[in-house]
Amino acid sequence: MDVSVVIVLILVRWTCSISEVEMVKAESDVSDRLTLESVRDSLIRQEDSIVFSLIERARFPLNAPTYDPSYFSMPGSYGSLVELVVKQTEAVQAKAGRYENPEEHPFFPDDLPPSQVPPHKYPRVLNPAAVFVNVNKKIWDVYFNKLLPLFVAPGDDGNYASTAARDLECLQVLSRRIHYGKLVAEVKFRDEWKHYEPAIRARVLSFHSYYATNDAYMKSVDKKTLMDLLTAPAVEKAVKKRVAKKARIFGQEVKVGDDSDKNKGKYKVDPAVVSRFYGDWVIPLTKDVEVQYLLHRLD
């Protein structure tokens, strides 16, 4: 046998021994941008957007009619004013191509008009199954029912359209941050696929059993579950601390030539509320997204 043929055969055999996981890894590494550091930087930057958006919503009081389905009726429309504003603004942005970016997730994906702009080549980073993970219904629920009443003043100034526009802004930045969990999961998976692969396979069973039977099965599976793998208590504590600090810094009253502590403690949005909301909802929902994504990572 010719030496070159032997080399080719060895190469072929070596190549075939690369696991499917590694092949996917190589294939989707079209973008060098995806590192744990770049993902973390983006999450940190998104905290600023979330804090800004809450401060801007807090410019208006609660403005309850915005959320009251009986407040107005429009031909061909039902629901509250905020639903109308979110749905119709999403439609405008969909035509302009917003949801072509896999990092963006609409709150009303049904009947969304198609993009009218030339397609853009976003880096292919995620498993195609990512498209089915959308927790916006839950985000909508916790934003309006858990968060909003805690950080806006009671009252009514009539600016319901502007209020709804501000709510949309909050929803969009929260949605973007929480669904960024897909990229977090992808980068963690790539870095530690040897740990994740068995956990995914085991957890898929436990996940199905959880819904089919009861908690008992879950408890019996390997403790190294996906959720354990995805949880870093020290990082989460730091995030909560940082968002509180951002709420203090961005929500203070800035005065020229006055750096005294006179206004200390007066913030446009309570830093403790932001921190608690991150701990109770933003971080857990992000991890939900990570788990949901990883369960399909080997599809």
Q: How far apart are CA 265 and CA 71, in angstroms?
A: 37
Does 72 contact a copy of itself by CB under 8 A? yes
Does 7 contact a copy of itself by CB under 8 A? no
Minimum distance from residue 79 beta carbon to a copy of itself (Å)? 12
Does 125 contact a copy of itself by CB under 8 A? no
Q: How far apart are CA 135 and CA 287, in angstroms?
A: 11
Does 260 contact a copy of itself by CB under 8 A? no
Are 63 and 154 contacting, i.e. CB atoms less than 8 angstroms apart? no
Minimum distance from residue 99 beta carbon to a copy of itself (Å)? 8
Interface pick for a copy of itself out of 159, 209, 225, 231 (rule CB under 8 A): 159
Interface pick for a copy of itself out of 98, 182, 190, 297 (rule CB under 8 A): 98
Q: Which is nearer to a copy of itself, 189 or 278 (CB)?
A: 278
CB under 8 A: which stretch of 16-24, 163-171, 190-198, 221-229 binds a copy of itself? 163-171
Does 288 contact a copy of itself by CB under 8 A? no
Which residues contact residue 228 at a Cβ distance below 8 angstroms, ignoring those fewer than 6 apart? Answer: none
CA-CA distances (angstroms) from residue 199 to 28, 34, 80, 183, 195? 22, 23, 43, 18, 7
Interface pick for a copy of itself out of 26, 96, 131, 205 (rule CB under 8 A): 96
Residue burial 245-268, b: 16+ Cβ < 10 Å; e: rest: ebbbebbeeeeeeeeeeeeeeebb
Does 272 contact a copy of itself by CB under 8 A? no
Q: Which is nearer to a copy of itself, 208 or 241 (CB)?
A: 241
Are 54 and 277 contacting, i.e. CB atoms less than 8 angstroms apart? no
Burial label for 56, CB within 10 Å (0-12, 13-18, 19+), is middle
Does 31 contact a copy of itself by CB under 8 A? no
Q: How far apart are CA 176 and CA 218, in angstroms?
A: 30
Residues within the interface to a copy of itself (CB under 8 A): 45, 48-49, 52, 55-56, 59, 71-72, 74, 81, 84-85, 88-89, 92-98, 100-101, 104, 116-118, 120-122, 158-162, 164-165, 169, 238, 241-242, 245-246, 249-250, 252, 254-256, 268
